[in-house]
Structure 1
């Protein structure tokens, strides 16, 4: 397996200018120039990694991991949460049944992208289970990454790479069954729209329905996407796509379990216990659309212009239980119901140019561009009569029945928040080859950020601007060994408010990383060692509750450091491995440990073995050190999880696969970032796939 990426600009240059690589071909081959062009564009399309430049992974002065399509298939990672559990250095914090944070290096990942473009993800919260079948692979870039988004903290960036049309007709359909009445149907088909292959489309669809090990919880999800791309002229291509996901949940939680007894000890419950009621629900609709235009100039520079739209709608009925429980009577909890309707629309326009140039007898590459993003976030709240609502105030002994507390009589909705955000960024980067062995990556990001509107009754009017530099070096000791170092500013607008309801000023700081990347066995295996440090000022930290029961925050200074080791690739022709170890330390301005919900040590190992040409088996394991929630006084000891799969390729068209998760039936609290609930016990699934 070649652990490098063909640079995007080079791939498209060769694709749209075949004479560069096929000059010696016959006239008959030249007659098929259109087909050759589109093949190169589609099959070698990649994102620009951590720098906005077309660098190979071992040349990029930052930590990058890729969750491949094969890994997603092997471990039946049908949703993004399961997919990111396969990523080195990433923690999936499921602190509610319908809301998740992804974290890296002790902090929330607040930046997500699709095909290299995207908006900051504000709180970093992902609502509902997001479908993963529409993506070819997922790139995880760890550490501050100002060149990609202009904003961000010391955690990282997640880039989702869409499935795009192939250059031949074909696809697959699969059906899955599993524990807790899990049922799933999925299909993926690529279709040539012209005889020459200059235009093609790809259709992806999935439908899933399942119950849960948690009492009362049920989920169903439908997903559909279509992408069409083609060649307009000898020098230009266009791609357009649309996706739609409708996900409905019944019996969801709002917050996690309550583990605090009044005597200060920690409670332990059954894995299936939940604080929810049967009238709760959380329905979401996610839509996205994009159009992308590419033009290659005679000097091989490329111009790319794109528009992306993201829409999100949700309706929910929620029930929150909090407090401390008497160990004898199991009384002490108080309830709080909530009902909200939200609508978020985001638009992003981006234009950039990139390519190669010569200077001082050497070839270099550069990228420059501008983008403008605008989002509107509107939320309505349904009030209720506090005096006549059993769901508000002291409630029954826990655990209680799912129908023990009646649904409130909701009143007409009122506006809770209406926020408009605008983010304009001007960016540029260059790879400068200083010598044959040493090159540097330099860049800048200038942003103008505006936020206005109303949030929970408080008027909002923020206006920020910032220029962030980036510099990195890569030194090639030999053909197989690269040393690197990089520096980036940290700048992150915050969504947490102070006691008066005003958003905190942005977090600012610096991020430094250095490491070594080595290739082995003719590039079949790559190892990476990275050491990183970060300093962040005015970082939002929970400070308490206002008189109205609203969370408020204060800004603190935080320092972090750590190191990572990763091995990925082929050990032999039959064995693939992805192994990693991450260690972090996070301290506050007094030098004391903070963010203790983030494990200080995490080990991950995935090994797949091709027993024969027809049979493949694999194991995936993850171990993390102890964690705790200081705000809620809850602890979780160290634990490990083990998953396995086996696939039999019956023939060229049919394969059947079995998956087993949490083989050792470990009982663990899945997150203490706030307070979570117990993770899933042993479970399994069976998938039959037909390819055509």
Structure 2
């Protein structure tokens, strides 16, 4: 267990860093005033290119891959031409002009698609069929778009229109524009997702009324959940994109709630030399900087590298709260052979401070919220926490031919969280009460998670039907060792005038201690066949066999949940109405092992259920804009409910029986991508109704279950690059709206809207600045409320000014 440490040295270090960062920002600003102003390309998105001199057709293919563009042309118009080498930072259209210089070939761009042609007088004899040079790219970095070409969480690249479930991809462009620097912030801006904050700084990811306890890293699922939520550091600075599937994920992960899957996809090594720097300053003494660099480490680009380093020293709107955060990432990718690639990555996060311990505020026992400032905190200023996380990535991919490939990926995560704190606890205060008991805690959490996924994918043709096949095997394990010491009621806090200089509990014996060890293992075999029955109709069939074991060992005793060979079927169908629109339907089984025991001390059977979804998806404006509408229903039964008819045989408490049943149903509506040239839009609306159908407490029937979603949820963000002579400027705006929240007793909070805005300016092709203002109308609200109830205030109006340079 850890002891209380003085933070004086840390504050001195933080002050020095703040002074240094301020000086850096001033120096850069002065330097900018002396820069010339070369004309900007019409496409303000600058991409780093590294293309060797080679036949023009191959050079165009490389340009399409490096800029995430699709380039269409007939082979005849490029035959016989050799492209000059191209290296450096260019707008994609400028780079294309350089490759085509002297050929007489013209091009036209629509969204991410570019078509090549010759003037009419020349191309009248060009009658060969057009073919595509390039392929769908999952990578979003450098695309300049809020829309993604596809996702990889279904084991292989697939366009969103081909996946018969609701899938959202938050791109690198959107993360940069909105300043979504943590995975929590990404998910808070993802349609259909809400977060339930935990006291230890983690949180539960809630979708369609259920919580997901796994995170996928480059498609490898790892169990990350515990009693304290998904308590991972969760920086997004090294990510290319975040893919979120809502609904049943049994085919991908096996056991779990039908909440969905979150796949975080890291950036890879760069084939071209690049350097990006960033300095930022914001509200509440928020200072930070980032440097990112990389490039090929050999002459032919076979060994590619990337390094990202980000430091943040920030206060918070809550009294006496702040953090000092370091995130580092390095990646290497090696082409062992022309068709074989080996990738390695390491990410490390160190979060030092007490922002995770800012503490929720209690409601009164009648559901009334405290009338206090949003900066209010009931706790000691000396509360401190230290979180460390190291992630290791290793993957191997071999392409046998144009149709078949194999991929093996492994992930290892080691995390720890140590904290000492004092704050309020125990029962909710009655109206008119001024004091609450003060509790002290020393926490010591440690966890190691590891996983591997291997899959073979390819295409076979049977009876004139093309079938895309995926066969795979996966394994994951998480071992947690969590514990705390508690000093109960060692002090009293005044609710309205808390003592931040509260004494510590040194020398006092702890009132209680708790320790728990969790060991969760899962392995599975899975397969999926995507049969293209006609040019328009595709049938998807899949199944997963799962072996699951969870062993809990705590002060409450030992419990075990175990399943062997549990089969999870999956079925979906996609029908293309037109090249732009498709209808789909899907069905999936779900199961979740339980550790609750019945009166005979037998572990209950797993929770089981079914997920149904139908919808329509569109890829408009030549794929630049994606839309979707889904209707879903999830039924779940065999949930553990308290068996009050049995004696208290389960560790002194009443046992359980499998009789609970819940239902979640609703509508998802989304849009992502480029609506008009320069106008990016990303958003979604969710209507969700979830309720108990059966429970041991009859008063719960018909009411929302434990992860009560707001019935109405809207996430919307838009960014517009102004046209013509104002093309240096960008303006952005967005809104978060959610309807009221209720628990089984009363309304916790009414509906509210929070608006954010952005203003950006491009000085030249290298330098830009952006000002983000969040909660611009200074709305007072709770961003997270537990059913206890207690809650966390949302951030008041705040700003962040960012200066970026790309070379």
Bin the TM-score by the shorter chain.
Answer: 0.7 to 0.9
Report the equivalent of 2:737. Answer: 623
Structure 1 residue aligned with 2:702:
592
The offset of 1:526, in angstroms, is 2.4
Native 8 Å contact 1:50 1:147 kept in 2: no
Determine the C-alpha separation between the residues in 2 that align with 1:678 and 1:554: 37
Structure 1 residues 410 and 281 mapped into 2: Cα distance closer, same or farther (>3 Å)? farther
Matched, 1:664 2:777: yes
**Deviation for aligned residue 1:255:** 5.6
Is 1:417 the counterpart of 2:508? The answer is no
1:317 to 403, 420, 423: 420
| Structure 2 partner of 1:493 | 593
C-alpha deviation, 1:476, in angstroms: 0.7
Tell me the distance in 2 between the aligned counterparts of 1:280 and 1:346: 28
CA distance in 2, matches of 1:449, 1:487: 22
Flag the 1:525–1:499 CA change in 2: closer, same or farther, 3 A: farther
**Whole-angstrom CA distance in 2 between matches of 1:241 and 1:141:** 25
Counterparts of 1:616-655 in structure 2, within 5 Å, are 616-630=730-744, 635-655=748-768
CA distance in 2 between counterparts of 1:659 and 1:113 reads: 30
- Structure 1 residues 141 and 551, CA gap change in structure 2 (3 angstroms): farther
Who is 2:720 aligned against?
A: 609
Aligned to 2:533: 434
Once the two structures are superposed, residues 48-107 of structure 1 have per-residue CA deviations (whole angstroms, 9 ceiling, x without a partner) of 545334321111101111111111111111122222222111113335471222211122
The alignment partner of 1:73 has SS state of helix
Matched residues in 2 for 1:28 and 1:351: separation?
40
The answer to whether 1:583 aligns with 2:687 is yes
Q: Is the 8 A contact 1:42 1:167 kept in 2?
A: no
CA-to-partner distance for each residue in 1:182-219, whole Å, 9 max, x for gaps?
01111221221111011111111111111111112111
1:535-554 counterparts in 2 under 5 A? 535-539=635-639
Give the deviation of 1:284 after TM superposition. 1.0
8 Å Cα contact 1:215-1:272 kept in structure 2:
yes
Separation of aligned partners in 1, 2:720 and 2:526: 44
Aligned pair 1:687/2:802, yes or no?
yes
Moved more, 582-591 or 496-505: 496-505
Contact 2:232–2:389, Cα closer than 8 Å, also in 1:
no
Is 1:284–2:383 an aligned residue pair? Answer: no
User: 1:322: Cα distance to partner?
Assistant: 3.4
CA RMSD of aligned residues (A): 3.5
The answer (yes or no) to whether the contact 1:565–1:580 under 8 Å persists in 2 is yes
Residue of structure 2 equivalent to 1:406: 504
Which residue of 2 is the match for residue 62 of structure 1? 165
Deviation, structure 1 residue 280? 2.0
CA contact (8 A) 2:153 2:243 kept: no
SS at the partner of 1:83?
A: helix
Find 2:183's aligned residue among 80, 89, 92.
Answer: 80
2:609 to 509, 524, 527: 509
Q: Is the 8 A contact 2:216 2:222 kept in 1?
A: yes
Q: Which of 437, 461, 481 lines up with 1:378 in the alignment?
A: 481
Secondary structure of the 2:252 match is helix
Deviation at 1:27, TM superposition (A): 11
Alignment pair present for 1:235 and 2:339 = yes
SS at match of 2:577: strand
1:57-136 alignment, distance < 5 Å: 57-94=160-197, 96=199, 98-123=201-226, 125-127=229-231, 130-136=234-240
Tell me the secondary structure at the aligned position of residue 793 of structure 2: coil
Q: Is contact 2:398-2:406 (8 Å) kept?
A: yes
Under a length normalisation based on structure 1, what TM-score does the superposition of the two structures give?
0.88
Distance in 2 separating the partners of 1:221 and 1:356: 46
- For 1:399-422, what per-residue CA distance to the aligned partner results, in whole angstroms no more than 9, with x for missing partners? 311123433547699771222222
Choose 94-103 or 291-300, whichever is displaced more.
94-103
Aligned to 2:791: 676
On the 8 A contact 2:560/2:595 being kept in 1, the answer is no
Residue 370 of structure 1: how far off its partner (Å): 0.9
With 589-598 and 130-139 compared, the bigger mean Cα shift is at 589-598
Query: Following the alignment from structure 2 to structure 1, what is the Cα–Cα distance between the partners of residues 657 and 237?
Result: 40
Supply the distance in 2 between the matched residues of 1:507 and 1:646 (Cα, whole angstroms): 49
Q: SS at the partner of 2:271? A: coil
Shift of residue 341, structure 1, vs aligned partner:
1.1
- SS of 1:440's equivalent in the other structure is strand
**Greater gyration radius:** 2
Residue 397 of structure 2 is aligned with which of 285, 289, 294? 294
- Whether 2:287 is the aligned partner of 1:173: answer no
Give me the TM-score of the superposition, normalised by structure 2.
Answer: 0.76
1:334 equivalent in alignment to 2:434: no
Name the CA shift for 1:378/1:476 in 2 (closer, same or farther; >3 Å): same
d(CA) in 1 for partners of 2:437 and 2:778?
Answer: 32
| Alpha-carbon separation, structure 1, partners of 2:751 and 2:281 | 32
Q: Unpaired segments of 5 or more residues in structure 1?
A: 2-10, 16-20, 33-38
Distance 1:398 1:71, change over 3 A: same
- For residue 167 of structure 1, report the CA deviation from its aligned partner: 2.0
Task: Call closer, same or farther: CA 1:114–1:496 in 2, change over 3 Å.
Answer: farther
1:18-37 matches, within 5 Å, as none
Q: 1:503 to 1:80 in 2, by over 3 A?
A: farther
The structural deviation recorded for 1:42 is 12
SS of the residue corresponding to residue 71 of structure 1 reads helix
Contact 1:455/1:501 (<8 A) preserved: no
C-alpha distance in structure 2 between counterparts of 1:516 and 1:327, whole Å: 50
Match of 2:100 in 1: none
The Cα shift of 1:658 comes to 0.3
What secondary structure, in the 3-state scheme, does the structure 2 residue paired with 1:293 have?
A: strand
| Deviation, structure 1 residue 40 | 8.3
More off after superposition, 86-95 vs 525-534? 86-95
Residue in 1 aligned with 2:584?
Answer: 484
> Which sits farther off after the overlay, 373-382 or 656-665?
373-382
Alignment match, 1:164 = 268
SS in 1 for 2:308: strand
- Corresponding residue for residue 460 of structure 1: 559
Cα deviation 1:420-479 (Å, max 9, x = unaligned): 222111011110011111011111111101123512241233321311000000001111
Q: Which residue of 1 aligns with 2:253?
A: 149
Name which of structure 1's ranges 442-451 and 538-547 shifts more when overlaid on structure 2.
538-547
Report the Cα distance in structure 2 between the residues aligned to 1:519 and 1:173, rounded to whole angstroms: 35
Taking a change above 3 Å as real, the CA distance of residues 664 and 543 of structure 1, as seen in their structure-2 partners, is: farther
- Mapped to 1, the partners of 2:573 and 2:600 lie a distance apart of 45
After superposition, the Cα gap between the structure-2 partners of 1:202 and 1:568, relative to the gap in structure 1 and judged at 3 Å, is same
Is the 8 Å Cα contact of residues 53 and 365 (structure 1) preserved in structure 2?
Answer: no
Q: Does structure 1 conserve the Cα–Cα contact (< 8 Å) formed by 2:151 and 2:243? A: no
Alpha carbons 1:597, 1:672 under 8 Å: kept: no
Is the 2:561–2:595 contact (alpha carbons within 8 Å) kept by the matching residues of 1?
no
Is the 8 Å Cα contact of residues 215 and 273 (structure 1) preserved in structure 2?
yes
